[in-house]
Structure 1
Amino acid sequence: MARRPTGRNRSQDQAKYGIAEWYGRLYRNMGASERASYLNPISIPQCPFLAAVPDLAPNGSTRCSKKGGVCSIRNFTQTDDQDVRFGKITSTCPNRFLEDRTVIDHVGRLMLQSPDPIVVKEIPFLRRITSGIVEGESAALPVDQNDEQVDSEDVGKIDLVFVHPDKDPPEWCAVEMQAVYFSGASMSRDYEAIKSYTGNGTPMPGGGRRPDFRSSGPKRLMPQLQIKVPSLRRWGKKMVVIIDRPFLDAMAPMDTVGHVSNCDIVWVVVDYDEQREHGAAQLVVDQILYTTLEDSVVGLTAGVPTTLPEFEAKLTLKVTSRRSRVPKTP
Structure 2
Amino acid sequence: MCMPRQPMAEVFGFRIDAMTSEADRHLQHRLCPFNNKVPSCTKDKANDPLGVCSIYDGTNITITCPVRFRQDWLIATDAAAFFFPSGTKWTSLTEIRLHDRYGKSAGNIDVVLVSYDEEGKITDFGALEVQAVYISGNIRKPFAEYMSDPANHVNLDWSNKKDYPRADYLSSSRKRLAPQLIYKGGILNAWGRKMAVAVDRGFFETLPTLSQVSKDQADVAWLVYQLQASDDQGRYKLVHSQTVYTQFTSALQRITNADPGSENDFLKLLQRKLDEKQLGRRIPPDTSSLLDAFAQDEVEE
Q: Taking structure 2 as the reference length, what is the TM-score of the superposition?
A: 0.75
Deviation at 1:248, TM superposition (A): 0.5
Aligned match of 2:243 in 288, 305, 328? 288
1:65 equivalent in alignment to 2:54: no
Aligned to 2:80: 108
Deviation at 1:204, TM superposition (A): 3.3
Question: Comparing 161-170 with 173-182, which one deviates more in the overlay?
Answer: 161-170
* Structure number with higher relative contact order (C-alpha < 8 Å, ≥ 6 residues apart): 2
- Contact 1:17-1:75 within 8 A present in 2 as well: no
1:25 equivalent in alignment to 2:14: yes
Aligned to 2:185: 229
Aligned to 2:64: 92
Question: Comparing 222-231 with 91-100, which one deviates more in the overlay?
Answer: 222-231
Give 1:145-156 correspondences, 5 Å limit: 153-156=104-107
Deviation at 1:318, TM superposition (A): 7.4
Aligned to 2:112: 161
Aligned match of 1:256 in 190, 212, 228? 212
CA distance in 1, matches of 2:88, 2:31: 26
Are residues 197 and 177 of structure 1, via their aligned partners in 2, closer, same or farther at CA, if it must alter by over 3 Å? closer
- Contact 1:106-1:115 within 8 A present in 2 as well: no
Summarize deviations over 1:30-82 as a string: whole Å, max 9, x none.
359999998xx653x2210025xxxxx1xxx2211112200111135xxxxxx
Are residues 89 and 125 of structure 1, via their aligned partners in 2, closer, same or farther at CA, if it must alter by over 3 Å? same
Same amino acid, percent of matched pairs = 28
Give 1:1-330 correspondences, 5 Å limit: 18-27=7-16, 29-31=17-19, 42-43=28-29, 45-50=30-35, 57=37, 61-66=38-43, 67-75=49-57, 87-112=59-84, 113=86, 117-127=90-100, 129=102, 153-166=104-117, 168-192=121-145, 202-205=155-158, 207-259=163-215, 261-301=216-256, 303-314=258-269, 330=290
Instruction: Report the 3-state secondary structure (helix = DSSP H, G, I; strand = E; otherwise coil) of the residue aligned with 2:211.
Output: coil
Deviation at 1:186, TM superposition (A): 3.5
Instruction: Report the 3-state secondary structure (helix = DSSP H, G, I; strand = E; otherwise coil) of the residue aligned with 1:271.
Output: strand
Summarize deviations over 1:270-310 as a string: whole Å, max 9, x none.
11111455401101111111111233224434842112221
Summarize deviations over 1:106-126 as a string: whole Å, max 9, x none.
222332235873111233322
Give, as a single letter, the amino acid of the residue that structure 2 aligns with 1:69: G
Instruction: Report the 3-state secondary structure (helix = DSSP H, G, I; strand = E; otherwise coil) of the residue aligned with 1:221.
Output: helix
Summarize deviations over 1:203-244 as a string: whole Å, max 9, x none.
233541221222211221112112233432333310111101
Give, as a single letter, the amino acid of the residue that structure 2 aligns with 1:160: V
Instruction: Report the 3-state secondary structure (helix = DSSP H, G, I; strand = E; otherwise coil) of the residue aligned with 1:227.
Output: helix
CA distance in 1, matches of 2:21, 2:156: 13
Are residues 317 and 208 of structure 1, via their aligned partners in 2, closer, same or farther at CA, if it must alter by over 3 Å? farther
CA distance in 1, matches of 2:200, 2:51: 19
Instruction: Report the 3-state secondary structure (helix = DSSP H, G, I; strand = E; otherwise coil) of the residue aligned with 1:48.
Output: coil
Larger Rg: 2
User: Unaligned stretches of 5+ in structure 2?
Assistant: 44-48, 291-301
Instruction: Report the 3-state secondary structure (helix = DSSP H, G, I; strand = E; otherwise coil) of the residue aligned with 1:171.
Output: strand
Are residues 288 and 236 of structure 1, via their aligned partners in 2, closer, same or farther at CA, if it must alter by over 3 Å? same
Counting matched residue pairs gives: 271
- Contact 1:15-1:75 within 8 A present in 2 as well: no
CA distance in 1, matches of 2:238, 2:250: 27
- Contact 1:254-1:298 within 8 A present in 2 as well: no
- Contact 1:25-1:280 within 8 A present in 2 as well: yes
Are residues 30 and 234 of structure 1, via their aligned partners in 2, closer, same or farther at CA, if it must alter by over 3 Å? same
- Contact 2:10-2:52 within 8 A present in 1 as well: yes
Instruction: Report the 3-state secondary structure (helix = DSSP H, G, I; strand = E; otherwise coil) of the residue aligned with 1:229.
Output: helix
Deviation at 1:313, TM superposition (A): 3.6
- Contact 1:268-1:289 within 8 A present in 2 as well: yes
Are residues 297 and 17 of structure 1, via their aligned partners in 2, closer, same or farther at CA, if it must alter by over 3 Å? farther
Give, as a single letter, the amino acid of the residue that structure 2 aligns with 1:21: E
Question: Comparing 263-272 with 292-301, which one deviates more in the overlay?
Answer: 292-301
Deviation at 1:172, TM superposition (A): 1.4
